[in-house]
Structure 1
């Protein structure tokens, strides 16, 4: 069956904040200059927002630039931050609240809004479509296309209706070639194609390795007397201790609250289980007093890119740009990435429209780099560049004190450079050298098991399709990872995808790909970098539409 092809001026991969801001910005600028553009946005989720997960606190800076009248347009941004507190927990029962003056200025959230990223991006998709953008949910871009000069010239979407053995099923539809003068990759953290392009074009040469965390989020309906719209609670310390990360609790609208934990993926103890760290966190009285008598409605997990400016690869390559978390524009000092992702999309639109008007295609958009350097986005990232390395090197207390000095007194500057040049996957110690971590059982009240959580992620895959979690060496998990690290995939995967089981009395490594919530943690944390995440059939995966 022949593969069909479609032509566009710009193809955008990913209907998140970066991709949709770019799409809207492109059409706005084109209309202002009288340029006719064809723009499409591909989204691998079944609907826009299905794969988006964030706390989320929104800085409206980029939204104000994109749609100054966003309130009149009905943007789902309605709950301003009214109160905020920061705690350092010392034990399962103890801790202390840190006064505002002790916090790095970057962690203050006055003027921010509590939002659902999924709802925000569905609204952005509506704005994009009203401007003439074609938005295609349920289609996964699986690889970049290249012209004879080696420039990116579009993407290939995945086949639909392929059996697990690779043979076509009834109703098989080959993927399409979507060709473009320029392609924007906004796939989110650890984007599959973005990762391959960084390698192919050595975009990270001279940069620190990228750093990541896994973020968990649950959506709860609180008892009415416990719900306080606009309340923000952040914290660190227990249960992670010297491991990097922190927790959040945001009271939104309609009696809902978001609670979550972020665990840095440079942790050393292979016995650590990020899923269970989150579940036991909720028993701390600080969080339990909010959640008690409430009902858990949804659960999800997603990696986030947090290395900052020191780890940011080149974002320009022939015929394409990397945007948002596909590159790593999250501001770690503020724990915010929505507004920075959107700004990267707006800068892409600003660079692209004059290039397209001049008849260019497939070249390097060097003007994007110039616009980036002169933008408030670069200023933010430069000010925050020491924040994550300080925490990685010195821990939450000493690193936090250094960040207070840097952010509050020195404007993000330090008299010395801070870097973390060890990749997250290389941080694990042998299991025999680390203490086991006892985790309590799920009680079904505040703490829940993996499978009931995966059920709430509404994840769905046709089980008769090729496995999208590929092992370079299928023997390695049992041969190397099991004896050295007690095969950490059993624990770092939040969804129970990886298991070591007994078959005929011998250990076997099992991949339950249908459980996958597309968090990408396995692609990041596997100590041998033996696992590669690739997109399954379009429309597969979680559905975080209410998150």
Structure 2
């Protein structure tokens, strides 16, 4: 049995994203106010804070205004105010219809918001946390839970220096036990420990299954004559077909850069569909091509987003800790925004934990969180948009969009209906012989590109000799089921070329190129038999996004 070093804290926070860092800052602020001495630790699997952060991002400052009211004077990297919105229906590969603002849900309007790099915002938040005495450990993955007598007591960080068979190399370093009176889980969408907590404590009982989208994003350096700083473009329709939902975006940030991307809902039905290749097609549309032509692509990344909203939100408290941010699913898909909601969930969690610690409690079930959450503006916001996703899934893009426009613009999200979508995303694929084949053009190297050159721009790296972090519950399912029935969709839904079908010794074989993995979690979500489980690789492995 491996002997592990143990470190004790008052609070351990898993993940240095918006939720985790906001919780850490708020805890430290409250401790100062109450003259408490709290030991607060944040563990982050990326090589540095921000390395694994990928978000659109048009940022609403509501939570930040509460957390750090002087953020502008403090030098927050938030300076590009949204100047105006353009919203389109993409009719086909060459035509788009501008949609007037009165005809779209008001949640899409971005007056008062900012175009930001959320990675850089998190780096700045980490600096603020450290100045308040918070300890942040980048490069350490939270590998497993410490559960004793039905209560979460902390986490164990991942071992370092194991070979592919799991044997110790000369460089072996065992992970540490980080024990805490309370542990907050802020891993982001489809966190692997969050997933285990939901299952262990039955936190999703009575809830709709969580729903997801895959967001693919690039940053381009463009010519100054086509750059309009502060401009926000959203659209839906082509290149996605009538049965596939999602939307495109392009944000004009500072320094003649634009952010361009596509979100594809992971409830799509056609196993031949490739979200990555749909995105490459999308950039050839004149709305995007007129900006990107003569430009240079400088960054690429992808990440799943949890978009089920309030109907899919699990119970966020359990003995010894809390689920916060996108680990629980607090994103408001009606706004296509989750940063401000994640931050607020972390702040609520901090207030509840701080009060519990002040009273001398430890490792209890923080039932008080449910009350604090339900009386917050976060609950109000999620409640008002609870029907947005289900309406789109049930009624389609046109009728669903019309319902949401009426619900949001005329009734403020207060129509007396509760729509549910109880069909899990991984169950929606039809058999390959019942779906239309998809033919994707070869990338031109100017506007469209292949997966491997894209992964190169994500600065992804993993220690090669380590156990594969993409595990199969049953080695036979990829060929006997997924290839036979669905032409193994992992080849296409993965935006990083991780999964390939190769003929080895005259047999079809699934090859997993784990070195390419950019930690989007799509395989863990969309595999039709839920046969793929994403676990943490060695700490610091994965993408190294400079400013996503």
Q: Give the deviation of 1:337 after TM superposition.
A: 0.2
Structure 2 SS opposite 1:218 = strand
Task: Spell out the pairing of 1:279-318 with structure 2 (5 A cutoff).
Answer: 279-318=280-319
CA–CA separation in structure 2 for the residues paired with 1:138 and 1:370:
35
**Structure 1: 5+ residue runs without aligned partners?**
none
Number of the residue aligned with 1:183: 183
* Residue 217 of structure 1 pairs with residue 217 of structure 2: yes
Q: Give the deviation of 1:476 after TM superposition.
A: 0.6
Task: Spell out the pairing of 1:9-20 with structure 2 (5 A cutoff).
Answer: 9-20=10-21
Structure 2 SS opposite 1:213 = strand
Q: Deviations over 1:241-298 (max 9, x none)?
A: 2211001000011111100000000000000000000001000001101111110000
CA–CA separation in structure 2 for the residues paired with 1:258 and 1:170:
43
Structure 2 SS opposite 1:541 = coil
> How much is the aligned-residue C-alpha RMSD, in angstroms?
0.7
**Structure 2: 5+ residue runs without aligned partners?**
none
Number of the residue aligned with 1:163: 163
> Would you say the 8 A contact 2:118–2:547 is kept in 1?
no
Q: Give the deviation of 1:394 after TM superposition.
A: 1.1
Structure 2 SS opposite 1:235 = strand
CA–CA separation in structure 1 for the residues paired with 2:408 and 2:417:
15
Structure 2 SS opposite 1:73 = coil
* Residue 174 of structure 1 pairs with residue 186 of structure 2: no
Task: Spell out the pairing of 1:433-452 with structure 2 (5 A cutoff).
Answer: 433-452=434-453
Structure 1 runs of 4+ aligned residues shifted over 2 Å read 413-417
CA–CA separation in structure 1 for the residues paired with 2:508 and 2:28:
56
CA–CA separation in structure 1 for the residues paired with 2:43 and 2:417:
43
CA–CA separation in structure 2 for the residues paired with 1:531 and 1:85:
39
CA–CA separation in structure 1 for the residues paired with 2:269 and 2:411:
31
Task: Spell out the pairing of 1:444-483 with structure 2 (5 A cutoff).
Answer: 444-483=445-484
Q: Deviations over 1:34-54 (max 9, x none)?
A: 000000000000000011101
Structure 1 SS opposite 2:3 = coil
Q: Give the deviation of 1:416 after TM superposition.
A: 2.9
CA–CA separation in structure 1 for the residues paired with 2:97 and 2:358:
58
CA–CA separation in structure 2 for the residues paired with 1:90 and 1:367:
49
Q: Give the deviation of 1:413 after TM superposition.
A: 2.5
Structure 1 SS opposite 2:331 = coil
Q: Give the deviation of 1:358 after TM superposition.
A: 1.0
CA–CA separation in structure 1 for the residues paired with 2:200 and 2:432:
34
Q: Deviations over 1:345-385 (max 9, x none)?
A: 00011111111011101111111111100100000000000
Number of the residue aligned with 2:400: 399
Structure 1 SS opposite 2:86 = strand
CA–CA separation in structure 2 for the residues paired with 1:315 and 1:210:
14
Number of the residue aligned with 2:240: 240
Q: Give the deviation of 1:415 after TM superposition.
A: 3.6
CA–CA separation in structure 1 for the residues paired with 2:156 and 2:264:
34
CA–CA separation in structure 1 for the residues paired with 2:198 and 2:417:
28
CA–CA separation in structure 1 for the residues paired with 2:479 and 2:218:
33
Q: Deviations over 1:287-336 (max 9, x none)?
A: 10111111000000000000000000000000010000000000011000
Q: Which moved more, 1:310-319 or 1:235-244?
A: 235-244
CA–CA separation in structure 1 for the residues paired with 2:483 and 2:276:
20
Q: Give the deviation of 1:414 after TM superposition.
A: 2.7
> Would you say the 8 A contact 2:386–2:418 is kept in 1?
no
CA–CA separation in structure 1 for the residues paired with 2:131 and 2:516:
36
* Residue 272 of structure 1 pairs with residue 273 of structure 2: yes
Number of residue equivalences? 546
CA–CA separation in structure 1 for the residues paired with 2:279 and 2:321:
38
Q: Give the deviation of 1:462 after TM superposition.
A: 1.0
CA–CA separation in structure 2 for the residues paired with 1:50 and 1:59:
22
Number of the residue aligned with 2:198: 198
Number of the residue aligned with 1:530: 531
CA–CA separation in structure 1 for the residues paired with 2:393 and 2:50:
32
CA–CA separation in structure 2 for the residues paired with 1:344 and 1:396:
30
